[in-house]
Structure formats: C-alpha cells, structure tokens
Amino acid sequence: MLRTTLAATVVVAALLAPTAARAETGGDAIPALTDARGRVLTLRGWNLADKSHSGDAALSAITEKHFRDMRAKGYNTARLLVFWDDLEPRPGQYSQSYLRKIERVLDWAAKYDVKVVLDAHQDVFGPAFGSRGIPAWATRTDGLPFTPHPDDWFSEYFEPAVQRAFTHLYEDEDLQRAQARMWRVLAARFEHHPAVLGYDPINEPMGELREGEDLATAARRIERDQITPMYNRIADQIRSVDKDGWIFVEPTPIVGEGVPTGLGRIDDPKVAYAPHFYNGVMEAGGDYDPSARWIENYEAAVTQYPKEYKVPVVVGEWGPLNNSLPNMNRFYREAMASLSRYSSGWTGWEWCYGGGYCAVDATGAFRANKELTAEPYAEAVAGTVRSAAYDPGAGVYRLSYDAAGPRGSRVTELSLPSGDWRVTARGGALVLRKDRTRAWILATPNAHVTVTATRD
C-alpha cells in the first residue's frame, strides 16, 4: 500500500517533475484474464491484511467472516498478504505452522468461492527497518544509515540502507536463490488448492537511485534491469511446480504518478500486469481534483505495458484514505469507469471493519462512497464479450457476448451485489439458476447472447 503523508507527496512530486511522462491511450486491445475452462474472468474484491500479528498469531485477524461478507456483497476475489519473514524465519527453515495458517484462510475462501492471489508483501523492505516482508537475515545494507520517519513512512524507502537492501536482493546470487526458492515452497504447497488463482511475487518493489538520477528515470531503470530478471527467476521456480496459476507482476509504485513502467518481457504464458492505483495527494488525505486529470493520465500510462506485451491487467490495490471528502463520490464513479475500460479487475485496499482505508465499518455497512464499488458484473463469460456496462442511475447491467463454440464452456456467471435483482437472457440463452448474489446463464454454442440484470 502506497500511503504517503503530505511531506512524502511533495518529495515524490519534486523527484518526478523532470521526466514524468504522459502517454496517449490507443493501440491494440488488452487481453483478458481467463480461467482453466477458457472463460473470460472479471475480478472484483479486496486485500486481506494482517500486518500486526506474526509467529504463532500470524493471520489471526483474518477470519471466515471476511470471506462470507465479501461474497455477500458481490465480491469474488481477495489478495491475501503473506510475509516471507513469517514463512522463512531462518535461512532454509520454512514454517509449517505458517503454511497451515495460510491454508486455513484459503479453505474459507474456497468455501465461499472467492479466488485468492497470494501476495508476498513488503513495506519498507522488512523487519530490519521496523516493517514486514523480507527477513532480517536477507537484509544487507553495507552499513549505510537508516533514520525512521514515523510520521512519513513512505520516505523511509529513500533511506540509504533501505535502497541498498533492495540492490542486494536483486543482485546477490544467494538472495536471488533464496527468494525464488521461497516462492517454489509456496507454490508447491498450494498449487492444487481450489481457491488459489495465482501469485504476486513482491508488493510495490522499489530500488536504489543513482547520483543525479530523478525518480522516474530510476524507476524505469530498476524495473528494466533488476525487477524484470527477478520476476523471470521467480516465474521459473513457480512453473517448476505449478503450470496453471497466474503470475501477477507489479511495477514500482511510481506508476501512480502517471509514469509508464520500464518492465520488460516476463517469459511466461500466464502473466498479468498488476499495478497499483494511488494518487499522492489523496493518499495524504486530500480530496480528488478532477481538473488535474490524474485518472486519465494514469490510464494512459498504465495501459502501455499490457498493450506492448499482450498481457491482462489486474489492479492490485486502490482506494483513497479519506472517502468522505466532497469530490470522492465523483472519484469513485470515474475510477470504476476507468478500471472497467482496461482491466480484468481489481482488489481494493482493504477489507476490514473500522475506519481509515476499511471498506466497511464495525457493523459491516459500507463506509462513505465505498458502496459504489459494488456493481453487477460478469465473473466468468463463456465466450467473447462484445460489451458490458452498468448504469447505476437506472440500476441496470447489460452484458452482450458471443457464446463459445460446441467444445467450449457454456455457462456464464454473473455476480450481483446485495439487493433484489431480476436477470433475463435472450438470444439462445436462459437463466439456468439464480440466488441472491449470483446468476448462471446457459447459452447455445455460437449464440449472440444478451443478459440484463435489473434492480427491483
């Protein structure tokens, strides 16, 4: 999660100023995410995080209720934060207890048919700097200084010791092997788990700036020369045990300022691009400014990589700190429209019960404007999508698709948020089954299908 104070926002903006590029939207269409049956997937959900507990108490803040409540409101995906420092507290010694705790959470997800992306999370590298992520034993600083910034934690990424630790992680062969081996352990344990959709190798990777280098230039170099090889190493290890799971690769969080990534090709057939969708001003608690055209600039920049490398997009984190400010209703509406244009889905930050970033309050009710993220959508389409759109004012969702041929899957699944919905299907299709949160559509092979969901 890229959460910044105003001071960090000013620092980042200043560093980006010389070369922050703005791209034109256009070019080839972005591919869709698909399931094992070849259906076109849409993911909508939330991050599940427990950063406060480790060891015997790890993941204790995540319960079955999280999955039950998310599915009841129409969400089908969770990005689950796991920590390397919990999995491998000592070199080569993997915690079987922690793996069992992850499995328990995944079992809850499977019970409610929620897909899970396992995210190897880090904030400010790891425990050596008072955070979570890469173990202290894998942290090398060459004796460079680190000064904590308790009121501005994102600025800690620019501390010399933290930056050098990233360099060693990317370039030291023994650490390269350790990181890739850790992922092999995770993938081998969970490759057959029905809830697991795929793997996010590292959250918001950063790196070390060179003297005289502005932040945007440094980010693209780090992505190209260090992060791309890291993803290829990890992908190779995952594929040695899991041939089917998706691998979700992240750029640095600098993409949030409208800077196209420098990531190169990941040599794997099931790669998805997983940027985060954060704006520095809003992460510092400020309001959305439509005149700044941040959403338009972000969309233009973030779509360059998936168009070039023909990979789908799933936004791994998004959502501002203060959702009740005057322009936030407009932000959520415009953000949802933008995400629907280019992505196969998203996981917001975060599903918890309280204030701040939490999606819902202690009673389980949506917090201000968060209800705008709950829309009808097609979880899985057995065919080629021609159009899909939701009109929140009218309470009407329409899906048009060309059904798969006789050898393809015939069942399309719709997700419905809380409420009463009437679902109809035309053009050689029928509503096979419906409950309060989902509907299943059966189509004749090669039919031109139209599905409508209307709030009663």
Contacts 24+ apart (CB under 8 A), 425-429: 425/449, 425/450, 425/451, 425/452, 426/450, 426/451, 428/403, 429/403
Question: Residue 151's pLDDT band (boundaries 50, 70, 90)?
Answer: confident
The answer to whether the bond into 64 is cis (omega within 30° of 0) is no
What distance in Å separates the CA atoms of residue 33 and residue 271, rounded to the nearest whole number? Answer: 9
What does the pLDDT average to over 155-164? 97
DSSP-derived letter for residue 210 is: P
What does the pLDDT average to over 224-230? 98
Q: Which of 409, 320, 396 is nearest to 359 (CA)?
A: 320
pLDDT value at position 6? 36
| pTM for this predicted structure | 0.95
- What does the mean pLDDT of the chain come to? 94
Residue 249's beta-bridge partner residues?
Answer: 273
pLDDT value at position 10? 39
Q: What is the pLDDT of residues 275-299, one digit of tens each?
A: 999 999 999 999 999 999 999 999 9
Residue 289, both tokens: 């400014």
Residue 306, both tokens: 């998936």
One DSSP character per residue, 82-94 reads: E-HHHH-SBTTB-
Q: Which of 125, 87, 306, 296 is nearest to 202 (CA)?
A: 125
What share of the chain has pLDDT > 70, as a percent?
94
Residue 48 confidence (pLDDT) above 70: yes
Sort residue 213 into left (φ over 0), alpha (ψ -120 to 50) or beta.
beta
Task: Indicate the range of 22-26, 93-97, 256-260 predicted with least confidence.
Answer: 22-26
pLDDT value at position 390? 96
pLDDT value at position 5? 45
Q: Which of 58, 226, 166 is nearest to 234 (CA)?
A: 226
pLDDT value at position 13? 46
Which has more confidence, 403 or 24? 403
Question: Residue 1's pLDDT band (boundaries 50, 70, 90)?
Answer: low
pLDDT value at position 270? 98
pLDDT value at position 22? 33
What is the C-alpha R_g of the chain? 21
pLDDT value at position 2? 53
Look at strands 383-391 and 317-318 and give their pairing.
unpaired
Residue 18 confidence (pLDDT) above 80: no
Residues 6 or more apart in contact with residue 49 via CB below 8 angstroms:
81, 121, 350, 352
Question: Residue 42's pLDDT band (boundaries 50, 70, 90)?
Answer: very high
Instruction: Count CA atoms closer than 13 A to 287's CA, side-chain side.
Output: 10
318 touches 278 (CB < 8 A): yes
> Is the torsion defined by CA of 182, 185, 186, 191 positive or negative?
positive
Question: Residue 330's pLDDT band (boundaries 50, 70, 90)?
Answer: very high
